[in-house]
């Protein structure tokens, strides 16, 4: 609790300083912002942002020094459109729109196929969503940023993200469970903040974005159990519910493994499909 409180105070002061600076006309233009998935607040200049809608010519823009690219709101606000981000040295990112005013984080290419990176982004609210990864005797999250061959690269506490966890070497026979907790509403079991957050999770292996997940809408709860991975198989859980403990993923993992909690799996897929 103290760690989060201090981080929130520092973040608030930083935002106040930034807000006091002069605004340019470009600040009022519709945009998307591109950041690094592995370096906190690092803006990515020179990235190509493509808006693509079926039956229409794609619109392309390039990010400036602030990592922003101006977009056409008629396309960027269309749920049927896609936003594609490309930058040399980073994996291509593909996400569903609407995307106006949102932040996306691009992942540096992973060199080894037993590496995996999981990137969480969301909207302006809530301030603090936390990524959790539980496996074996490890639990990687904001208090414990390092586990066995995995680490929390970025912890964001003022909206948008990213929160990034990188597995530097996947362990054979090990089951990894990943979830997202709405820390801002951690004491409110009836909160819809997580479900309304526009949270999205991207999984990268090597140069490739292999899975994308979007938080279910219209649900209450502060914990989104996103997926479990065992070997080449990914189990898509996609469940939003209530967990009171900050070690909610540990509890959930234990319940799943012991068979006390039965969750319907919407799909079972192989990572190498």
pLDDT, tens digit, for every residue of 192-218? 999 999 999 999 999 999 999 999 999
Higher pLDDT, 136 or 91: 91
As a whole-number percent, the residues of the chain with pLDDT over 90 amount to 61
- Give the pLDDT of residue 4: 59
Same domain, 73 and 118: no
Residue 24 has pLDDT above 60, yes or no: no
Which helix (DSSP H) or strand (DSSP E) does residue 189 occupy?
none
* Together in a domain, 122 and 99: no
Residues 158 and 213 in one domain: yes
Using CA atoms, how far apart are residues 165 and 59, in angstroms rounded to an integer? Answer: 31
pLDDT for 56 beyond 70: yes
Say whether both 96 and 184 belong to one domain: no
Which tokens in the block code for residue 267? 């799909």
pLDDT band at 44 (very low <50, low <70, confident <90, very high): very high
What residues have CB less than 8 Å from 224, skipping those under 6 apart?
Answer: 179, 180, 181, 194, 199, 215, 216, 238, 239, 240
Point out the domain boundary residue: 74, 105, 136: 105
Categorize the per-residue pLDDT at 28 as very low, low, confident or very high, splitting at 50, 70 and 90.
Answer: confident
Phi first, then psi: give them for residue 13, nearest 5 degrees: -65, -40
Q: How confident is the model at residue 97 (pLDDT cuts 50, 70, 90)?
A: very high
pLDDT of residue 8: 47
Cβ-contact 213, 201 below 8 angstroms: yes
Contact between 83 and 105 (Cβ < 8 Å): no
pTM value > 0.85 = no
Mean pLDDT, residues 118-131: 96
- Indicate the number of domains in the chain: 2
What pLDDT band is residue 251 in, cutting at 50, 70 and 90?
low
């Amino acid at each position: 609790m103290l760690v989060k409180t201090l981080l929130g105070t520092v973040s608030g002061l930083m935002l106040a300083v930034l807000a006091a600076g002069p605004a340019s006309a470009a600040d009022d233009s519709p945009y998307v912002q591109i950041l690094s998935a592995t370096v906190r607040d690092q803006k990515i200049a020179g990235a190509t942002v493509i808006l693509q809608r079926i039956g229409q010519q794609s619109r392309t823009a390039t990010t400036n020094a602030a990592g922003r690219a101006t977009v056409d709101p008629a396309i960027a606000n269309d749920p049927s459109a896609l936003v594609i981000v490309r930058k040399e040295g980073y994996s291509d990112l593909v996400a569903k729109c609407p995307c106006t005013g949102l932040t996306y984080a691009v992942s540096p290419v992973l060199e080894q196929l037993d590496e995996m990176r999981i990137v969480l982004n969301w909207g302006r609210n809530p301030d603090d969503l936390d990524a959790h990864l539980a496996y074996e005797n490890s639990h990687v999250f904001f208090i414990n940023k390092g586990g066995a061959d995995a680490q929390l690269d970025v912890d964001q506490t003022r909206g948008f993200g990213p929160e990034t966890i990188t597995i530097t070497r996947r362990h054979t026979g090990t089951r990894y469970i990943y979830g997202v907790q709405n820390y801002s509403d951690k004491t409110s079991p009836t909160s819809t903040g997580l479900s309304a957050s526009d949270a999205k999770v991207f999984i990268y292996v090597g140069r490739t974005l292999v899975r994308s997940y979007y938080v279910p809408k219209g649900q209450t709860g502060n914990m989104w159990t996103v997926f479990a991975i065992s070997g080449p198989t990914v189990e898509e859980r996609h469940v939003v519910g209530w967990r009171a403990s900050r070690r909610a993923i540990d509890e959930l993992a234990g319940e799943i493994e012991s068979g006390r909690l039965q969750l319907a799996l919407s799909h079972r897929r192989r990572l190498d499909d």
